[in-house]
Amino acid sequence: MSTHILAGECAPESVLIDTVLLERCYFENVPDVKYPEQRVIFGTSGHRGDAFDVSFTESHILAIVQAICDYRSGKGYAGPLFLGKDTHFLSGLAERNALEVLAANDVQVFYQVDDGFTPTPVISWSILKHNSSSVSVSDGIVITPSHNPPSDGGIKYNPPNGGPADTDVTGWIQDRANAYLSARLGGVKRLTYEAAVAKSSVKAIDFAGDYVADLRNIIDMKLIADKGIRIGVDPLGGAGFAYWDKIAAEYGLNITVVNRSLDPRFSFMTLDHDGKIRMDCSSQYAMRRLVDLKDKFDIAFANDPDADRHGIVVSGLGLMNPNHYLAAAIQYLFTNRSGWSRLVGVGKTLVSSGMIDRVVGLLGVKLVEVPVGFKWFVDGLFTGKLGFCGEESAGASFLRFDGKVWSTDKDGIIMNLLAAEIFAKTGDSPAKIYSNLESQFGKSFYTRIDQPATPQQKAAFKGLTPEQVRISNLAGDRIVGKLTNAPGNGALIGGLKVVTESGWFAVRPSGTENIYKIYAESFKNENHLNQIIDEAKQIVENIKCK
């Protein structure tokens, strides 16, 4: 994947969004469902789009939220709906529309006071807290396109289990919303914004206080404070912005927030690998400002705009590879959480590093490997059967000290604080723990690349079978597994994974772009990794040509 000449450099004025034009497009552009790209499409984490290309507009939000109201009404959910948003420009507009529809449907709604922002994990935590002590059933909506560029918008639904909705739920909501779009929003109930927020069923609250106070039950906050760990935080202008000062005050932590900018254009960002503004806390280019400060702190970290992803920066090294941190976190947690049952396992996506498999094998716990998407982990976290769940794109969550559920969605805040706990407990960074793992298991060489694919070629991935891979060796090693279903739950992966003792590759189509993704890893060397990639491309080409 080529790197843009300005990657890692400050965003120039020429790439900043025109918020006036974006707002006009949001309200004036009307989607036409005869064009697939303008329909409601729920991917691995909700519906995402752009007002400029008519894939995220007022019409989309009104239709989606009405569909959610219909769904929860049909299920008999009578508890409050927790509504959160991040700092993307379109998120504020979409929240207003969501409140108009929710209030018109007489849904009890809690949203952040003072037009504030709420991280995704806080919505998950709030749903679980309510449902653990009430007979009325609660659920939630988060308005966010995650780390996507500033012009994007997104919305996702979290049912009563607190996590991302499963495909049966999102499929129902998607179809219902598209029916409303086809009917030109006929049947959608809506009040004015002023009338909506004036209703007694709509209440502005501060989500942060209770969540922050509960952190002591999942992270050893006292140890971090007692050790005086010097912590640097860059919220990347996201929803976690207001949380770090509250965390520092609650627990007496030595936290320095190095970036206090809030700008819906995200003009303070450095450009990502492709020259776009993208608030990706796992990208060395987007994280350039914090990486430059790495030696000023014992540990530093950032979150994406809805704070469900983490980026860990350590002195001397810089930004940790997300896969490396997942492996280090698993090793630490399963040797430092005495309140967890011996039976709890580890969940990983099948495109995450094989180093996790090796660590889990050494620990002697169960590994549950699932397709891409955090929704596959929800039940394991909810029931306490999985102690830690993580995915290669820097999203993870884990259980409380007592082995009970904390969140069933990704929580970048606790993953960041865990890095500080690791430093306080061991005197070493998570990078040092990972280095020790490499000494035991060998060095991992991992990459992900994107390849062009037509919609027809992307569709062909869904019909792949292991029998279509007729070779018995990959990059000189005997193939020990050809997978089109995830071994952890039997679900279709929408692609293919081929495994040897010293490496693997996986291919799957993008849900939103005309590309397919190749993930690959070698435990030999860089040349071996490149050989795996070359042979993976050939295997895919052979399959596509048949």
**3-state SS class at 463:** helix
Domain ranges of the chain: 31-206, 210-441, 445-545
Continuous segment of H or E residues that includes residue 301: strand 299-303
d(CA 59, CA 50): 13
d(CA 369, CA 348): 5
Q: Could you please report the per-residue DSSP string of 204-219?
A: EE--HHHHHHHGGGTS
The tokens describing 56, both together, are 């995220």
Q: Which residues are part of the catalytic machinery? A: 146
Show the low-confidence residues of the chain (pLDDT under 70).
1, 511-513, 543-546
> One fold for both 31-206 and 445-545?
no
pLDDT at 483: 95
pLDDT at 512: 61
pLDDT at 451: 85
197-210 pLDDT per residue, tens: 999 999 999 999 99
pLDDT at 488: 95
pLDDT at 545: 54
Entry pTM: 0.96
Class of domain 210-441: alpha beta
> What is residue 542's DSSP assignment?
H
Topology of domain 445-545 in CATH is: TATA-Binding Protein (3.30.310)
**3-state SS class at 269:** coil
CATH code 3.90.245.10 for 31-206: no
pLDDT at 466: 87
Continuous segment of H or E residues that includes residue 386: strand 386-391
Continuous segment of H or E residues that includes residue 333: helix 322-333
